[in-house]
A and B are shown apart, each in its own frame.
Chain A
């Protein structure tokens, strides 16, 4: 059986454990939760990558990797995520569970110790990060921001979000922008690191065969040097209820052979905190969130208007995003067909098999996440950021109760905000 426990170790420092014997690995993470802001996003995003380069005890990549090899090929990755308008910065680690080591030895303490060491004891010189680590990772960050344009599907949705939320924190990419990344200084970065350690809410996570009290004990030792005399504040998320009267329309050009159409809707203020949230989830699943959705079956399969068309929900922000790959000349046709599918939902044109199929897909996705360590971590981090404790079984149960009328009611609240089209170069 699986036991979920959440405990505040010190003010603003939380530990969540999932006690289970299902997996062959233990999965853990440490995440600093801070406000997503244009001025600091790049700086914050750079921090875990510089930290990952070395610690006082393991001063370079080779030494960190050698320590991981000794822990049966464990992995620790720097991660930067965006949950609503919170930037989540930290590390996730996956290690062989103690039950499967060759000589029965326990590696949990050392594994969590290494994560703590990476966060709290960076290799430094004169009160700054090493110049070569700073320069190298800054270059990598800028390259990564630029390379986002390689994946055109991701790029189009990201660009649309940026244009739609120009005045909101949500419009900021989790890595910030190339321009702000360019201005990061070596001195400034270390100051930002120290500030982040002192002000960000901290979320520790463990999933594996060790019971809560054992993990708690280890965590209290490993993270003992976190400052306890400080205010750690969890960021909010601003929700805009309405779209502008006339949707924004933006077209851009790039060297691509397939056009990308992205559309952003406001949900009329519905988010994961509202009563109607399960209905919104189901509405999204029927519209474009599964392989039996209206977008997939009609726009893609029946009319062959696109290679893909799907929709996703930003549950804290109250935004629904449509993403589609089309031939350039099918822009008008694809756009009106996507909107026609939404109007159909609003008019109650939902077949029973569509409603039930979407429900089964959604419930199936939630239940399957119980079996995946990284999906569990992702889910619980999202819940922690949102300040919610509802587990996967509970949300699945609420989805089971939603009626067709409730789906129609939430669909009617969706308002088109922005249409973005990425097309090829002329000639």
Chain B
């Protein structure tokens, strides 16, 4: 395996690509009790339309997530319990862009890794077991639909995007998942769960060569053919809808404001845009900015206020939100602060301390094996190495970030999504 040291970060990474095309990354962590493995496919909730062997498939919303649930079924029973019996904490998630399976364990790591690789690469569904899952996932959908945080975000996506499938909920709806059959799941697995479309990342006190040996033994020998994805018509810069309001039983209005950005490029440019997006949020809205202080003091935001950059294939945006008695006033304040920055620029001392602060936070986040492994998997799918961020970060200038704010934080690129209390409820 190839070894790379990132001395400033105190990290080491071993890399190789298996004969079947699967990239493997190992981060050795002596002194740690736990070991973590993350096995992911470049396939998520937004990959509904794809072409395999010359045939186009239109699959129902929620199929990637449904497949994630059903992958744990094995011929012998259920992999979740198999792993749990070995003392591992297994789980999985489906995001817009990827599906990831992982476990953390302090015991029987090698055996648990074999189980993980095996159940994710060998599908086993029956019509009966697929039908039974409708109830469980239906309940899950019911639960997230009751969750105002989820609703406000989902509505934001519908406002920001006209065509991009990020508009659809990753879990789908009760109606859409009703169309899913065992056949659908087998097709999606074949299209996206081949070694050539996946990545394996491991962190812990492990022997890198042993990871490779296990992966080569358990996984299919062939790379497989990866399906071609389609995200529909190209998105312009203008949002689909500038405001989106819904009533729910909440105590105070909740909101998220999104600013539509440019779709991220593959490779270092994409990483650079992400880091610039983080910095842009910090200089505009961060805790130590004049705007944040003003909003907080006027009671327009509280400590729940949060913000960030979000990017997937074909779509990227800045988002800020929380609870507010007057979300429209927050939006007005953000626009006027952006105009001020356009006139006067970001104050030099603010820029310098924020650049230092964001760096420290990024390094601290590497404490988490999960951040490290998921970060590397996502970076790999986007064509970069996660731990190379310091060089890219250093090259970003104040002017780059000012430019990004001027371009993205514009009324025609903005959607305000709000959840307001129902009449006669609590507040």
A144 neighbours in B (Cβ, 8 Å)? 302
Whether A69 contacts B290 by the Cβ 8 Å rule is no
Is A257 in contact with B299, judged by CB distance below 8 angstroms?
no
Which one of A4-12, A80-88, A95-103, A407-415 is at the interface? Answer: A95-103
Give the docked Cα–Cα distance between A356 and B87 (Å).
Answer: 9
A residues in contact with B132, CB < 8 Å: 304
B89 pairs with A365, CB closer than 8 A: yes
Known contacts A23-B367, A66-B288, A69-B354, A257 near B106 by CB under 8 Å:
no
> Would B88 and A364 count as touching, CB distance under 8 A?
yes
Q: A226 interface residue, CB < 8 Å from B?
A: no
Q: Is the CB of B81 within 8 A of A25?
A: no
Task: Give the CA-CA distance A304 to B302 in the complex, in Å.
Answer: 39
* In contact, A257 and B146 (Cβ under 8 angstroms): yes
Which residues from chain A contact B299 at a C-beta distance below 8 Å? 136, 139
**How far apart are the CA atoms of A292 and B80 in the complex, in Å?**
8
Across the interface, do B252 and A24 meet the contact criterion of CB distance under 8 Å?
Answer: no
Given A61-B292, A361-B84, decide whether A25 and B364 contact each other with a Cβ distance below 8 A. yes
| In contact, B302 and A257 (Cβ under 8 angstroms) | no
Q: Are A94 and B364 also in contact (CB < 8 A) when A255-B249, A257-B142, A361-B87 are?
A: yes
Residues from chain B with a CB closer than 8 A to the CB of A300 are 136
Verify B303–A140 contact, CB threshold 8 A: yes
Cross-chain contact B357 with A143 (CB below 8 angstroms): no
For the complex formed, measure the closest distance between the CB of A378 and the CB atoms of chain B, giving whole angstroms: 15
* CB-CB contacts below 8 Å: A358-384 with B: 360-361, 363-365, 367-368, 370-371, 373
Contacts of A292 in B (CB 8 A): 80-81, 84-85
A228 within 8 A of B: no
Proximity string of chain A (328-348) to chain B, C-beta cutoff 8 Å, 1 when within and 0 when not:
000000000000000000000
Once the chains are docked, how many angstroms separate the CA of A363 from the CA of B357? 37
Q: Are A258's CB and B139's CB within 8 A?
A: yes
- Residues in chain B near residue A368, CB distance under 8 A: 33-34, 89, 104, 106
Report the tally of A-B residue pairs with Cβ distances under 8 A. 176
With an 8 Å Cβ cutoff, the count of chain B residues facing the other chain is 67
A246 an interface residue at 8 Å Cβ cutoff? no
Q: Would you call A256 an interface residue if the criterion is a C-beta within 8 Å of the partner chain's C-beta atoms?
A: yes
Q: Using CB atoms, name the residue of chain A closest to B289.
A: A62
With A70-B353, A147-B251 as contacts: A132 and B136 at CB distance below 8 Å: no
Within the complex, the shortest CB–CB distance from A373 to chain B, in Å, comes to 7
Instruction: Give the CA-CA distance A70 to B352 in the complex, in Å.
Output: 9
Asked if residues B87 and A73 are in contact (CB atoms below 8 Å), the reply is no
Q: Which residues in B have some Cβ–Cβ distance to A below 8 Å? A: 8-10, 31-34, 78, 80-81, 84-90, 104-107, 132, 135-136, 139-140, 142-143, 145-148, 248-252, 286-290, 292-293, 296-297, 299, 302-303, 323, 350, 353-354, 356-361, 363-364, 366-367, 422, 425-427
Additional pairs, 16, CB under 8 Å, beyond known A61-B296, A74-B360, A364-B89 = A24-B10, A24-B367, A25-B364, A70-B357, A72-B357, A73-B357, A96-B363, A139-B299, A143-B323, A304-B135, A357-B84, A360-B86, A360-B87, A364-B105, A365-B89, A370-B33
30 CB contacts below 8 A, A to B, read: A24-B367, A61-B292, A61-B297, A68-B288, A69-B356, A73-B356, A96-B363, A136-B299, A143-B302, A143-B323, A146-B252, A149-B251, A150-B251, A254-B249, A255-B425, A257-B146, A258-B139, A258-B143, A258-B146, A290-B84, A291-B84, A292-B84, A292-B85, A301-B78, A304-B136, A307-B140, A307-B142, A360-B84, A360-B107, A364-B105
